[in-house]
Amino acid sequence: MEFVDSNEITKEEKAYYKEKLIGMLQALQEESGVTVQDMKENSQDFPDPADRANFEFERNTTLRIRDRERKLAKKIRKTLKRLEDEEYNVCDECGDYIRKKRLDARPVTSLCIHCKELEEQKERTQFG
């Protein structure tokens, strides 16, 4: 989609972002359903402890991924609400507008690029 470089989001752009966010949410929900089904079908006994450990490791990894996806789904729902409330392209931190190219690249963002960079710098100094 060709974005008009302005702070206002057009009806077409709003529809585009909404469709993109809903598509992301649907993909997450479909993947989650597949995981639940796989876990129900793959409960087995393993005579070899190494095989059992490998199975448990893979299952735990899958559960961690699904937890991250659950958090992303929550963020997508929050973002859809922001879109409906006309707050979608406003930075949570500084109140400036978020560039449309950034929204297209990361539709669930709630920070402008400047505030995101500051947040990452703080994280690096805290944990680095």
pLDDT tens per residue across span 33-43: 777 667 666 66
Structure tokens at 40: 């129900």
Q: What pLDDT shows up at residue 19?
A: 97
pLDDT tens per residue across span 63-105: 899 899 999 999 999 999 999 999 999 999 999 999 999 999 9
Residue 66, Cβ neighbours under 10 Å: how many?
16
Domains of the chain: 11-127 (1.20.120.910)
Measuring CA to CA, how many Å separate 24 from each of 19, 44, 84, 108? 9, 33, 17, 10
Q: What pLDDT shows up at residue 3?
A: 64
Average pLDDT over residues 99-128: 92
pLDDT band of residue 7 (cuts 50, 70, 90) is: confident
Structure tokens at 12: 């077409």
Q: pTM of this prediction?
A: 0.80
Surface-to-core class of residue 107, CB atoms within 10 Å of its CB (0-12 exposed, 13-18 middle, 19+ buried): buried
Q: What pLDDT shows up at residue 127?
A: 74
Q: What pLDDT shows up at residue 4?
A: 66
* Beta-ladder partners of 90: 97
Angle, helices 49-84 vs 11-41, to 10°: value is 160
Beta strands in the chain (DSSP E): none
